[in-house]
Amino acid sequence: MVMLRMASTEEEERSVGHTPRAKNDSLPDVKVTIGAGHDLDDLGVIEPLPEDKRITININSISARVPLLQQRASLLSRLNPRRIGSSTNKPTHRQVLFDVSGSVRPNEVLALMGPSGSGKTSLLSIMGARDQKQMQSEGTVTFNGQPLTKRLKRRVGYVLQDDLLYESLTVQETLYYAAMLRLPRHMSHEDKLRRIDLAVTALGLGQCKDTIIGGFFRKGISGGERKRVSIGVELLINPSVLMLDEPTSGLDSTTSMHVLTMLRHLASGGRSIVTTIHQPSSRLYQQLDKLLLLSQGHVMYYGAAQQAAEWFSRLGYSLPYGSSLADFILDLASADVSNPERDGEQSRLYLIDTAEAYLRRHPQDGFNMDRDSDSGAGGGATAGPGHISGSGSGSSSPTSISRSDGADIAATRGISGVTVSKLGAQGDIQVAGGSSGALQEEHRWGAPYLTQVSLLFRRSLRTRRFETMKGQDVMQFSAIALLAGLFWLQAGQDNTVLGARNTLGLLFFISMFASFRALFLALYTFPEEYKHMLKERASGMYRLSAFYAARTLSDVPSDFTLPTAFFLVVYMMGGLRYNAAAFFGMYGTMLLTMLVAQGLGLLLGVITMVPKTAQTLASVVMMSMVLTGGFFVTTLPSWLNWVQYLSFIYYALGISLYIQFSSTQLYSCTDPASGDSCAPASLPNPESNPNCFPVYDVQESLALPQNPASQGDAIRNAFVLLGFFIFLRVLVYVVLRRKTARL
């Protein structure tokens, strides 16, 4: 059980914001204990980082734009003459960040605050190299003076606002697979298990460690527990930098305090912590070292979190008595605070303009009340037309700040008129021994390649534990197999031409049904796991090839069990050839056909990443292959004949025909009374019936596009199917690699 011990009532009163904490105070007023008096340091969860692994982050003039939602016009509206030639010079992007700069050093917790839509998550995603492709960004973010490389990214923990966790895994399993894949390979298995147990204890997850994560349709752990699991996954690797997007969202006040206190302890061990917080309480605000306050993408305040009240007080916006400082500054950023001279929006623009003018002179240091008081003139600013001064309680001299221009702020300042400037990297601070060379000494991947494949294979099986062999799937296959067996009951035992035509339909149905199911199941494979893969790949958890191999291998036991049972029932009830070579040959053909169809489904799914779009494409592609497979259409025009060679069902049917009819003598029988072809029941022994004649050209008699008696054609068809299988699997990997090239 997690307990929080507060020092005294007097120190609690300081959380109101009237008596700010000293800048370099470690954290004397809050002590995190677990169970019977054991704190986090005693458990060894938060060990200090060595000097050569500490990282300083510098944010240099970051600006960003996101695309606007452009609704595509319908075909009829685009053909409208009134629309042709009309002006379409509408903006395609909206700017969400404006020339933001700052820094985060080891032992610091930087909070990104601001109202909704202020750009907090956008800035954090750019810092962690998790921004979307559609976002256009300028400026640089450096880590110890270097850009964020793939190797360095493995020392950065990133917790998303939306908890991306596998719903079918338990808490223990989620942490186990993360630890085995991410922790250094030189750690023993026992040490990794101990790290997992310590994380479970530190985050208070002991009571729910054997409960599944759950989701919308399946109940699991609570929202607060999900958030703590997400943080625990990142804490396992003992990161040098930890970035968190709304870590207290959905948590109660006690749990939120526990999380922030843990972040404070992490920072005290030499880590750099960056977190977005929407609306912290006064107690939570006291745990922050530095604050970057954003308002519609502009910096309104950057500096020591405990000096924000004094800064705004000097500018004429004093903290009302008894109010929370966190709520007050958010009201300022939301234009909800006014004074006798300016309304809410004018006040917001005034504070933004003042802050940006100040930060142009101190781009990395931020606001420092002690420095400004010592200088007596706001850091060297001179008074003039844009002179702004104010005084606050406790300051020995006023602060003077020169505004960016002399014009009236409310009249000239506007979001749409701001020009983005790229200042480039400057002020990069090197920590002693803090180059990334020490990070490169560790192996790039936590687990060896084969271990990654094994772990991901086992995890993939567990994530589908509730989807494999469901009752409705068993009922579906049982019903279809039984109906097909009854419709083609012992059709394969009839060696007349009429019976062979029925058998041809059975062979085609086996290939078509297995292919359709495999393809449409594969459409959802990567769209469902794409976000998980992006998150895990961004943190350097495994190789893409290991994930791809494990994910495709895990499909075999789950996706081929029911089709195998279906094949056994249909083969025996349909009366196909009763010998081992024919049985295993037909079974192997069905499996190879399913693998090709599955590869095609994977390709369509990974290209679109939208299941609905993939289904539309798959329907068109599969119908084309079915129609040209050699059963419905046997002859095509010469200019369209090449289409059938693209159908994998065409080759599968050719192999099946060879297996069934290459060693079978067919007879063409006629009824002597009517002269029509005989039904199988009317002539049980066509070999001894004078009205039956042997058929020596099965292809011509059945109007087949391939010769079922040609062994060479059957071998060629098998190699073509194998080539299709290899080509599609390689192509899927290439497309997947291109989509994740940035990771």
Domain boundaries, the chain: 2-67+91-155+239-417, 498-739
Least Cα distance to 578 among 648, 666, 519, 490 occurs for 490
Residue 17 gets which letter from DSSP?
S
What does the chain come to in residues? 743
Q: Tell me the torsion sign for CA atoms 304, 306, 307, 313.
A: positive
Distance CA(526)–CA(610), nearest Å, equals 10
Distance CA(158)–CA(241), nearest Å, equals 8
Least Cα distance to 247 among 269, 273, 271, 272 occurs for 273
In this predicted structure, what is the pLDDT of residue 443?
67
Which helix (H) or strand (E) segment holds residue 720: the answer is helix 711-739
b/e sequence 206-238, b meaning 16+ C-beta within 10 Å? eebbebbbbeeeeebbeebbbbbbbbbbbbbbb
Distance CA(260)–CA(231), nearest Å, equals 11
Q: At what angle do helices 561-574 and 471-487 cross, to 10 degrees?
A: 20
Amino acid (one-letter) located at 314: R
For residue 578, give both structure tokens: 């009763």
SS3 assignment, position 530: helix
Distance CA(662)–CA(654), nearest Å, equals 11
Least Cα distance to 4 among 231, 245, 195, 252 occurs for 252
CB 248 within 8 Å of CB 256: yes
For residue 115, give both structure tokens: 């109202």
Which architecture characterizes domain 2-67+91-155+239-417 according to CATH?
3-Layer(aba) Sandwich (3.40)
Stretches in the chain below the pLDDT threshold 70: 1-47, 69-91, 363-366, 368-443, 671-690, 743
Which helix (H) or strand (E) segment holds residue 302: the answer is strand 298-304
CA atoms within 13 A on the CB side of 451: 15
* Alpha-carbon distance values, 313 to 290, 303, 390 (Å): 18, 15, 7
Distance CA(59)–CA(85), nearest Å, equals 44
CB 245 within 8 Å of CB 159: yes
Least Cα distance to 327 among 62, 40, 114, 518 occurs for 114
Distance CA(499)–CA(311), nearest Å, equals 93
Contacts with 71 (C-beta within 8 Å, 6 or more apart), sequence order: none
* Alpha-carbon distance values, 361 to 52, 100, 139, 354, 665 (Å): 31, 14, 18, 12, 95
Calculate the CA 94 to chain-centre distance. Answer: 24
Distance CA(604)–CA(584), nearest Å, equals 30
- The β-bridge relationship of strands 692-695 and 666-669 is antiparallel
For residue 61, give both structure tokens: 């003039």
Calculate the CA 544 to chain-centre distance. Answer: 13
Q: How many CB atoms lie within 10 A of CB 505?
A: 13
Q: Mean pLDDT in the chain?
A: 78
Which helix (H) or strand (E) segment holds residue 520: the answer is helix 497-522
* Alpha-carbon distance values, 331 to 195, 337, 338, 689 (Å): 42, 6, 10, 99
